[in-house]
Amino acid sequence: MMKYKGYYGVVQYDDEAKIFHGEVLNTRAVITFQGTTVNEIEQAFRDSVDDYLDWCKERNKEPEKPFPGKFVLRLSPELHRQLNLKAKITDSSLNSFIVHTLEKAAVS
């Protein structure tokens, strides 16, 4: 996994073409890059992110923020009720309770 300016890229090796190719993961935009060496693929990743940011700037378009901290979660009404009840019991908001629970799960 590669990281640059908050954007993450993943790389695979194509043994037939003898190149590394990668994609930026955390945008809806398709941002790809390739290279034949580790140094080339790392530079290509950074260049691709910079090109995307420049492209957005030229068009006065706000670049997608990698992981802005919001996501929609679909769950059953019963689970929603149970989580809300647990949050109330622990004197937390539902959001705080879920964030705390997910933080514990992420580090284990």
Pick the residue with more confidence: 71 or 18? 18
Per-residue tokens: 28: 């809806």
* 40 vs 73 pLDDT, higher one: 40
- pLDDT value, residue 27: 86
Q: How far apart are the first and last CA of the chain?
A: 20
Question: Which backbone phi and psi does 18 adopt, to 5 degrees?
Answer: 60, 40
Is 98 exposed, middle or buried, given 0-12, 13-18 or 19+ CB atoms closer than 10 A? middle
pLDDT value of residue 31: 95
Strands 7-14 and 2-4: antiparallel
Look at residue 13 in the predicted model and tell me its pLDDT: 95
Sign of dihedral through CA atoms 88, 107, 77, 68?
positive
Compute the distance between CA of residue 60 and CA of residue 19 in angstroms, rounded to an integer. Answer: 34
Q: What is the pLDDT of residue 41?
A: 97
pLDDT at 108 over 80: no
51-80 pLDDT, tens digit per residue, is 999 999 999 999 987 777 778 889 999 999
